[in-house]
Structure 1
Amino acid sequence: MVLLTLPPTSLLIAAGALSVGGIALYKSRSNCMGPMGSRAFNGPFRPIELPLVSITEETHDTRRLVFSLPPGTKSTGLSLASFVIATPTIPGGKRSIRPYTPISDLSDPTKIEFLIKEMPNGYVSKYMTNLKPGDKVPFRGGISSFSWKQNNFRSITLLGAGSGITPLYQLATGILRDDNDTTKIKLVYGNKTPMDIPLKSELDQLKKKFPDRFDVEYFVSKDAEKVPNARPGQIDAAYLQKEIPGPQDDTCVFVSGPPPFVDSVCGGKRGPFFQGNLTGHLKDLGYSKSQVYKF
Structure 2
Amino acid sequence: FEKDGYVFPETIKICKSRGAPFGAIAAICGGLSYFYYFDSPLLVHLDKINEGSQQRIALNPDKWVDFKLQDKAKVSHNTQLFRFSFDPSAKLGLDVASCLITRYPLAPDAEGKTKYVIRPYTPISDPDAKGHFDLLIKVYPGGKMSQHFANLKPGDVVEVKGPIEKLRYTPNMKKHIGMIAGGSGITPMLQIIDAILKNSDDNTKISLQYANVSPDDILLKKKLDLLEDSHPNLKMYYTVDKPSENWRGGKGYITKDMAVKGLPAPCKDSLILVCGPPGLMNHISGDKAKDRSQGELTGILKELGYTEEMVYKF
Whether these two folds match at TM > 0.5 is yes
- Deviation digits for residues 59-100 of structure 1, max 9, x if unmatched? 111000000013531x11111101110012246654021100
Name the CA shift for 1:244/1:72 in 2 (closer, same or farther; >3 Å). Answer: closer
1:84 counterpart residue number: 100
Paired AA for residue 56 in structure 1:
A
Q: What TM-score, normalized to structure 1?
A: 0.84
Is the CA contact 2:181–2:211 (under 8 Å) kept in the aligned structure 1?
A: yes
Paired AA for residue 4 in structure 2:
L
Deviation, structure 1 residue 109: 2.7
- Kindly indicate whether residue 123 of structure 2 is the aligned counterpart of residue 106 of structure 1: no
2: CA distance between counterparts of 1:90 and 1:170? 31
- Percent identity, please: 36
Paired AA for residue 53 in structure 1:
Q
Q: What TM-score, normalized to structure 2?
A: 0.79
1:72 counterpart residue number: 89
2:166 counterpart residue number: 145
2: CA distance between counterparts of 1:13 and 1:221? 38
2: CA distance between counterparts of 1:154 and 1:225? 37
Paired AA for residue 126 in structure 2:
D
Map 1:257-272 to 2 at 5 A. Answer: 257-271=276-290
2: CA distance between counterparts of 1:47 and 1:286? 43
Deviation, structure 1 residue 236: 1.3
Is the CA contact 2:214–2:242 (under 8 Å) kept in the aligned structure 1?
A: yes
2: CA distance between counterparts of 1:271 and 1:59? 32
Name the CA shift for 1:208/1:100 in 2 (closer, same or farther; >3 Å). Answer: same
- Kindly indicate whether residue 230 of structure 2 is the aligned counterpart of residue 214 of structure 1: no
1:183 counterpart residue number: 204
- Kindly indicate whether residue 275 of structure 2 is the aligned counterpart of residue 256 of structure 1: yes
1: CA distance between counterparts of 2:306 and 2:127? 31
Map 1:28-67 to 2 at 5 A. Answer: 38-43=56-61, 45-67=62-84
Paired AA for residue 97 in structure 1:
I
Paired AA for residue 231 in structure 1:
G
Moved more, 271-280 or 98-107: 271-280
Deviation, structure 1 residue 238: 2.1
What root-mean-square deviation, in Å, do the aligned CA atoms of Structure 1 and Structure 2 show? Answer: 1.9
Map 1:192-203 to 2 at 5 A. Answer: 192-203=213-224
Is the CA contact 1:47–1:138 (under 8 Å) kept in the aligned structure 2?
A: yes
2: CA distance between counterparts of 1:226 and 1:119? 28
- Which ranges in structure 1 are unaligned for 5 or more consecutive residues? 5-10, 16-35
1: CA distance between counterparts of 2:273 and 2:140? 23
2: CA distance between counterparts of 1:85 and 1:272? 17
Is the CA contact 2:207–2:262 (under 8 Å) kept in the aligned structure 1?
A: no
1:132 counterpart residue number: 153
**SS of 2:179 mapped into structure 1:** strand
Name the CA shift for 1:90/1:217 in 2 (closer, same or farther; >3 Å). Answer: farther
**SS of 2:64 mapped into structure 1:** strand
**SS of 2:229 mapped into structure 1:** helix
1: CA distance between counterparts of 2:195 and 2:202? 10
> Number of aligned pairs?
263
Name the CA shift for 1:87/1:266 in 2 (closer, same or farther; >3 Å). Answer: same
Deviation, structure 1 residue 230: 1.0
Name the CA shift for 1:140/1:273 in 2 (closer, same or farther; >3 Å). Answer: same
- Which ranges in structure 2 are unaligned for 5 or more consecutive residues? 8-53, 109-113
Moved more, 155-164 or 122-131: 122-131
1: CA distance between counterparts of 2:228 and 2:244? 19
2: CA distance between counterparts of 1:220 and 1:176? 26
